Amino acid sequence: MITFEAFYAAPPALTAHAPALLVVGPLIGACVAALSPNSRWAWMISVGSTIFAVWMALCLAGEVARQGVVNYYMGGFAPPLGIAFRIDALGVMMALLVSSVSAAAALYSGHALDAEVRSSKHTLFQAGFLLCVAGLLGLVSTGDAFNAFVFLEVSSIGTYALIAAGERRDRRALPAAFNYLIMGTIGATFYVIGVGFLYAATGTLNMADIAARVVTLGDSRMVQAGFAFIVVGLGLKAAMFPLHGWLPGAYAHAPSLMNIFLSATATKAALYLMVRFLFGVFEPGSDFAYHFMAWVLGPLAGAAAVICSIQAAFEKEFRRVLAFSSVAQVGYILLGLSIGTTAAASAGFLHLLAHALMKATLFMAVGGVALHFRGRTLDDFAGAGRDAPWTMAAFATGAASLIGIPLTAGFLSKWRLIEASLAAGQIWMVVVIAISSLLALAYAGRMLEAIFFRTAAPGAERAKEAPLGVLVPLWILAGFCVWFGIDASLPESIAIAGAQALMGGRP
């Protein structure tokens, strides 16, 4: 198992402020990018800021491996008077995920924006993108419930605008962004109402303090009301079935840069915050929490895995197929978490990492072809495998991982979920995973059949190979989809450490 205990990425004086710099770096980058004289400068600032975030995340990985938990008090003021960043193994997992995917997306954006976003908006687009990155990194770092709401909205505000920026390629991006804005605002409102209930019950906003005081309150109706509002609000943000109505339109019509970033990070960060409350703030052993996970979260997750896979199988647009597939894969993650054991949580987190990799690969491949090709449907992509063999081969690699073909990351994560389900005696979950995987074979097979086994209609627009600046990050992502299916020691060690930090020693 790989660990970061002997890993030192920066001098101690810099590492000591890594929690703050992780967020401040992209935030300053957003301000500088907005003032950039041209799009090339904005792109370089975006790439530099995200690479800096990866560096800080690696610094934190080493510190957390050595200390267990890193606490950072903003301005030197300890809670409850000040705001604290609290980063453990699960937070590091999410920080590494968000920063790494954002760096790959930033590299890709150098080509993508020219084709999909009006040139007058490039600098502001990069600024908005870095604002989203800063918001998500703050969300996975903070230990304050209200501060989490602030970071959640910082990332969301940028996201709404960036989805709408796709109107140059597809006018449907405007209503999709509006729908996302409405649903995201409702979700944020529910979340902040839930936090208000918790504050009224406990008198604090620090999540560790809330957890300590909730235990003493017993069966408090105010705490249970806060629980319900928070879960529904974050369920909307995470596109948890059946609260996922905004997601297919947002993914289908947004610029491809946002497809990559959102599918791999945004819903995952909202899931992270939800499980923080489920296992770190509320008492998971209470009857209320147990019945929620057993009779609400688990069944809804199973329904998502099957129903949204069926929806994906009947879709005709490439991006909508991948969007419904994302909701189904969120169901897989929640299945593991609903079991409530450390092994099941680590399997869920492993699938979270695998899904982020595969979806970033798939959306980047589709976006790479879309730079010179406006095809949307499966019929439009007929013969694309002959016209863009390297790009579509990477797409096929991501699709194989999505299906769960052996020697891919998706296969291993599904196998771990099956093992955890069997160990917990949840046979129905194994059946759900099997059915959903067969449906994934059906809808992914339809896409691959169109790409590699059909010929383009006479006179139809033909796909073109993605440029080298896209192929490099694309094949890095596709390579990890295969490598982590062969040697998963790195993602498994990260997922296990994250689950152990979340469960606090519980079996």
pLDDT of residue 436: 92
Phi, psi angles (nearest 5°) of residue 377: -90, 170
Q: What single letter denotes the amino acid at residue 101?
A: V
pTM of the model: 0.90
Most confident segment among 5-14, 23-32, 63-72, 339-348: 23-32
Per residue in 217-251, pLDDT (tens digit) is 777 788 888 888 998 898 888 888 888 777 777 77
- The DSSP line for 315-361 is --BHHHHHHHHHHHHHHHHHHHHHH-SHHHHHHHHHHHHHHHHHHHH
Q: Which residues contact 361 (CB under 8 A, 6 or more apart)?
A: 394, 395, 397, 398, 401, 474, 477, 478, 481
pLDDT of residue 158: 83
pLDDT of residue 131: 92
Contact 253, 170 (CB under 8 A): yes
Of the given ranges (84-98, 360-374, 405-419, 480-494), which has the lowest mean pLDDT? Answer: 360-374
Which of the 8 DSSP states describes residue 246?
T
Mean pLDDT on 41-61: 91
Which of the 8 DSSP states describes residue 404?
T
pLDDT of residue 497: 86
Mean pLDDT on 145-169: 84
Angle at which helices 18-34 and 122-139 cross, to 10°: 160
Contact 188, 157 (CB under 8 A): no
Checking if the pLDDT of 106 tops 50, the result is yes
Contact 38, 123 (CB under 8 A): yes
Checking if the pLDDT of 499 tops 90, the result is no
Angle at which helices 409-423 and 389-403 cross, to 10°: 10
Nearest to 385 by CA among 482, 321, 315, 455: 455
Distance between CA atoms of residues 382 and 456, nearest Å: 5
Q: Kindly state the tokens that stand for 374.
A: 């406006």
Indicate the Cα dihedral angle 99, 102, 106, 111, nearest 10°: 150
Q: Kindly state the tokens that stand for 316.
A: 């005709």
Rg of the chain over CA atoms, in angstroms? 21
Contact 353, 420 (CB under 8 A): no
pLDDT of residue 400: 92
Share of the chain above pLDDT 70, in %: 96
Per residue in 241-297, pLDDT (tens digit) is 888 777 777 777 778 788 888 888 888 888 888 888 888 777 665 667 777 887 888
Mean pLDDT on 104-116: 80
Q: Kindly state the tokens that stand for 449.
A: 């059949």
Average pLDDT along the chain: 85
- Banded pLDDT at 1 (limits 50, 70, 90): very low
Three-state SS for 371? Answer: coil
